Amino acid sequence: MITTRGARRTDTSLSDGRDLFYFDVQDTPAREPVPDERGLPQPHPQVDLRTDPLTGDVITYATHRNTRTFMPPANQCPLCPSKPGNLTEIPAPDYQVAVFENRFPSFAGPGRCEVVCFTSDHNRSFTDLSMGQARLVVEAWADRTADLSARDDVEYVFCFENRGKEIGVTLSHPHGQIYGYPFLPPRIRTLMARAREHQEAKGSNLFADILAAERAAGTRVIAENGTWTAFVPEAARWPVEVHLYPNRQVADIAGLTATERDDFTQLYLDVLQRLDGLYGDALPYIAGWHPAPVRIDRDLGYLHLEVLSIRRSADKIKYLAGSESAMGAFISDTSPENVAEALRKVNA
């Protein structure tokens, strides 16, 4: 049992040797791990990393993932607590937050992939979580970020959530994932290169300057509190895109203070409720944390969360067609200022 800043972590393992971590609030009784009775064979993921000579991007081939579980019925969900007739990835009869090594990982030595179950309630979403439950997820993210960052085979820790069938989720239970990349992802290489150019030219941090400009202008800020600001970026690529920044430069989630974690939880739930209110139903989205790299450019990075949606209107999806897919040049059907104004009006 390990006590983190705002949670108690209980370590155990699944029948095939994969790690499983339970996160509970500190004032709950100590957890006794329940053994996994499935008798799973030891996993042998097939992962091949290749570098594209044209771009330098690393492409990952994980052919074993083609057989991963796909949209099972609710009574066979592998992320729900175990019960007679449905032994799952979570052997316990109930849990608060659970994290385990992915059975179908995109990376596996080098690298690491984990699944984060936000709640045992199959029918909830992150938007529906209480402040306390969402705050516990933040503690789990912070704990896993610290552990994965300490690994020699991890260069970047990416906590993210895919929500909605339009995004391509394969399990409907409320959950996210954590990728411990064994390389720097292309987007992060680009961001760090731009941040380095900015530092050399201006003598200041690129992300801090962007935040300061957005706060000063105010036209795209949709919500804020004592330590965080949420805004639609000036050059948003996606039809709906919101960035959440702490008001001070922090390298990763583990570096946030207790107050910053509290304030993030409040602001994030506010933003998610606004997103769901935009068109009057659950908005499909991808939410991804952008910390600093593990080993290089720590001074250039600036932790923030980006939430994006491919829905461009109540009944239309933005598809990445010729210009976006072939050239990487985004053409948007929405205006950042109009989206920001619409989101400010939700729950106003």
Q: Which residues are catalytic?
A: 175
What span, in angstroms and rounded, lies between the C-alpha atoms of 285 and 289? Answer: 13
- Residues 233 and 134: their CA atoms lie apart, in Å, by 25
Q: Could you count the other beta carbons within 10 Å of the beta carbon of residue 176? A: 22
Please state, in angstroms and rounded to a whole number, the distance separating the CA atoms of residues 180 and 295: 13
Tokens of 265: 């939880």
186: preceding bond cis by omega (within 30 degrees): no
What the block records as the tokens of 80 is 């729900």
Q: Kindly tell me the sign of the dihedral angle through the C-alpha atoms of 167, 172, 176, 178.
A: negative
Give residue for tokens 């499909």: 284
Do residues 202 and 213 touch, judged by C-beta distance below 8 A? Answer: no
What's the maximum distance between 2 C-alpha atoms anywhere in the chain? 63
First to last CA, the chain: 43
- DSSP letter for each residue of 89-124: SB-SS--SEEEEE-SS-S--SSSEEEEEE--S-TT-
Residue 196 gets which letter from DSSP? Answer: H
3-class secondary-structure state, position 31: coil
Taking the C-alpha atoms of residue 305 and residue 159, their distance in angstroms, rounded to an integer, is 9
